[in-house]
Structure 1
C-alpha cells in the first residue's frame, strides 16, 4: 500500500500530480529541446516510474498537462505585475518580456514543437487568447477607443521583443527599445 502524505487521498493525488508537473517543468527548463520521459520526470519528483502512469498515460499526455498548467501561471504573473503598477500597460509588456528572458517562453515553444496537437486544442487556444485580456481591460480603463486593436499592436511589440530576446539580445536592450516605441 503506498504511503499517503496528505490528510486525504484527494489532496495526496493533487500533490503527486503537482510534483510531476513541477518536475517536468524543471526538466524542460534545463533542456527545452529534449522532452523528458515519464521515468525521468518521476525520478525528479521523487516518485516511482510506475506512479507517474497513475497520473499521465504517456509523455505526450504529461507534456500537454504542462502546457495547460503554464498558461494560468503565466497569466497570474502578468496580472500580479499589472495590479500594483503605476502604468499597468507597461507592466504587462515588461512582465511578458521578463518571463521570456527567464526562459518560460522557450519551454512553451519547445512544447509547441513536441506536442503540436496540444496547441490545436480549443481549451489551450482559449487560454492563450485570454493572456491579452488584462491588457485590453487596462487599455479600456485608460479610455483607448479600440482597446482590442491597440492590444494587438502592443502584443506585436511583445512578440518582436520575444524573438529578439530569444535570439540573444539583452533584456535591457529590448526593454529600452520597446519603451521608446511605446512612449
Structure 2
C-alpha cells in the first residue's frame, strides 16, 4: 500500500489529484494540448506514470478536470452574492457582479479556450451542465420578479454577463465592466412590463 502524506486516505487522494491537475495545467501552459501526455503529467507531478490513473481514467478526463476546476468556487461565490440581495433586482445585480469578479480573479479565458478546442463530447456536456447550474440561479431570481417572459429576461441578463466576461477576458478592468453591467441590469429590471 502506498504511503499517504495526509491525515487520511481521502485527504491524500485529494492532494494527489490537485497535484496532478496543477501538473497538467503547467504542461498545458508550456506545451499546449499536444504536450499533455500521461508521461509529461507524471514527470511534472513526480509520480510514476501508471499511478496517475488511480485518479482519473484518461488524459481526456484530466483535461476536463483542468477546465472545470474553478466551477465549484465560482458557483458558490455567485450563490452567496445572489442570496445577499434584499430584492430580486439586488440579487440579479449580485449574480452579475459575482460572475464578473470570478472571471477577473481566475483563469476563465484560458480555461474557456481549452474547452472550445479540446474537450470530448462528454466533457463538453459536463461544462454545459455546470453553466446551466449557474443559469438556474438567475432563473430563480427572475421568477421572483414575477414578470412576463421570464426566459427572455434570463437570456438578456445572461447575455450581459457573457459579453462582460468576454471584455474582462480581453483585458478590460473589472470595476469599469462591473459598473456598466450593474447599471444595465438595474435599467433592464427597473420598468414594469
Which residue number corresponds to residue 163 of structure 1? 166
User: In the alignment, is residue 84 of structure 1 matched against residue 77 of structure 2?
Assistant: no
User: In the alignment, is residue 130 of structure 1 matched against residue 133 of structure 2?
Assistant: yes
Contact 2:83–2:91 (8 Å) recurs in 1: yes
**Pair 122,107 (structure 1): closer, same or farther in 2 beyond 3 Å:** same
Contact 1:137–1:147 (8 Å) recurs in 2: no
Q: 1:97 aligns with which of 85, 95, 100?
A: 100
* C-alpha distance in 2 between matches for 1:45 and 1:88: 42
Contact 2:66–2:111 (8 Å) recurs in 1: no
Could you list the runs of 5+ residues in structure 2 that have no partner in the other structure?
187-193
Any idea what SS the aligned residue of 1:31 has?
helix
Two-structure CA RMSD over aligned residues (Å): 3.1
**Number of residue equivalences:** 181
* C-alpha distance in 2 between matches for 1:161 and 1:32: 28
Contact 1:97–1:171 (8 Å) recurs in 2: yes
**Pair 7,100 (structure 1): closer, same or farther in 2 beyond 3 Å:** closer
Contact 2:100–2:174 (8 Å) recurs in 1: yes
**Pair 147,116 (structure 1): closer, same or farther in 2 beyond 3 Å:** same
* C-alpha distance in 1 between matches for 2:57 and 2:171: 37
Contact 1:37–1:59 (8 Å) recurs in 2: yes
Which residue number corresponds to residue 146 of structure 2? 143
Which residue number corresponds to residue 115 of structure 1? 118
Q: 2:29 aligns with which of 12, 28, 31?
A: 31
* C-alpha distance in 1 between matches for 2:171 and 2:68: 27
Structure 1 residue 63, shift from structure 2 partner: 0.7
* C-alpha distance in 2 between matches for 1:3 and 1:33: 31
**Pair 31,22 (structure 1): closer, same or farther in 2 beyond 3 Å:** closer
Structure 1 residue 92, shift from structure 2 partner: 0.7
